[in-house]
Structure 1
């Protein structure tokens, strides 16, 4: 329980650090990489089952709230795929736009956005200035921060309306992890079937 409370503080600390300097948003990359590192190491959804700071935050905030049944449109596979596609498009835009800023083809983004496209009219105070921060680094920082903000905002709304882990149902990391795990299980079962086939052939 103590570990869950500590994990639940990570998103709060992350967003606060963004006001110290937006470059701290790079820490958000850990939330995109660690789930898959743990998946390949443990051969299960270790991140989704208990480590995810976002999930732990929602569970702490809404633990005394009576859960409501999720609507069918949230549980069907199509919505999960759409959210995963959106996430992949977001990642592509983030990478390509950062490269374009790096070669001075476009101006860097200097404000938060919701769902990639919608600017949030809030200027983030920067309590500490890195003199040498490159434009592409600042641009990427705002992209990562915006992506994290969007997922937490949507997850918070779903947790309030339904249940703490409602976001987990459509989370792109959870969906991608499930797809990878399914393929891993297929790979593990293939040699066994092949071995059984070979032994039957020898008997014949």
Structure 2
């Protein structure tokens, strides 16, 4: 089984499903060629609290980790990220006030120590994207427009990683690059959970 903490770069692909969010992670090679998927992700349906599970493959026979919301329908929700035996990997906290301008989350490690802030890179782009989503008829295709949806993983002013959505795709594809985090301050499993959360937890 692939160890995410042995890698810095990942590709997240949303599967084409109408009623449920599903994703796959792979590792990009030096030439951009992707490996076979090493992780299958599915958002549980009909749950009062968000429940997203990560598996070794689409058979769902081996669970790797999960994201579970602590509260129901809470704009300031905190999400626990746990491993296959329930051990704490970390936490994802949505910063409601800051997210009014641009989506912002704080990451905590398994001990509850803050390790990074994750936020959209550009305030003008974030506000423009929100404005487009309010336009009748245009909102339904807004995600296909070439509007950036990019995030930075920050420790103070230091950029530890970036998450970029590829433009013009029918389904979302993201490139996650944590190569700047040479000290591995961010557990790669927490980073993978955050990448999924940027899409699934924002109803994208």
Q: Same fold (TM over 0.5)?
A: no
Indicate the structure (1 or 2) with the bigger Cα radius of gyration.
1
Structure showing greater relative contact order (alpha-carbon pairs closer than 8 Å, 6 or more residues apart)? 1
- Normalised-by-shorter TM-score class: under 0.3
